Amino acid sequence: MAAEVSGGELAKTSGISASMLSRIERGLVSPSVETLERLAQGLHVPTSRFFSDQARRTDFCHVRAGHGVLVDRIGAVADYRYELLGHLLSGNLFVEPYLVTLLPGADPYVTFQHPGLKFLYFLSGEVSYRYGGKSVAVGAGDSLLFDATALHGIEAIQTLPVSYLSVVFTLRE
C-alpha cells in the first residue's frame, strides 16, 4: 500500500507546478501524455492506471472440475498432459495455472526453461525434481517455488500416477 502524499509533494516529485496539479484535479485542464507520465512516476504507478476502471474490472474465471482447456503446447514433452485451469485478460501479471498429468509412457525431462516464476504443488506420485544442479525428492503434498529461467524438470519417476498443479507467473510486456 502506498503512503499518502500531499498535492504539493506530488507536484514536486512529478516536476509539475502545484497550480497545474490543482487545475487537473478540478477538471479545468486536460493533462498532456507527458504530464500523465510525470504524475505516474511521482505516484510510482504505471501510466495505464489512469485509464483503467478498477471498480468495473470484471476479470473472474471459474473452471469446473474436469473442464479445463486441454492445451497442445508447442514443444511440449510427449505424454505430459496440460489442462489450463484459468486465465485473466487484464493486469500486469500473466498467470498460467495448469493441471499437469504424466500419461503412461511419459519420460523424465529436465530441460524446461522459460521466463517467470514457477510454483508446483504435487497432487499424486513421487518424482525426483531437478532444478539447476540440485535434485529433490517430491511427492503428494510437496511444493516447489523457483525462478524458471534455470533448467528444471522431472529427473526420475518413482511412483505413478504423477499429477501436479503448475502455475507460472510472468510480467506482461
pTM over 0.85: no
Domains of the chain: 7-51 (1.10.260.40), 69-171 (2.60.120.10)
Interval 65-105: pLDDT, tens: 988 888 876 656 888 999 989 887 667 888 999 999 999 99
Interval 128-147: pLDDT, tens: 999 999 999 999 999 999 99
How high is the pLDDT of residue 94? Answer: 86
Three-class DSSP labels, 61-95: CCCCCCCCEEECCCCCCCCEEEEECCCCCCCCEEE
Give Cβ neighbours of residue 63 (< 8 Å, ≥ 6 apart).
Answer: 85, 86
**Rounded CA gap, 42 and 27, in Å?**
20
How high is the pLDDT of residue 107? Answer: 93
How high is the pLDDT of residue 126? Answer: 98
What's the chain's average pLDDT? 85
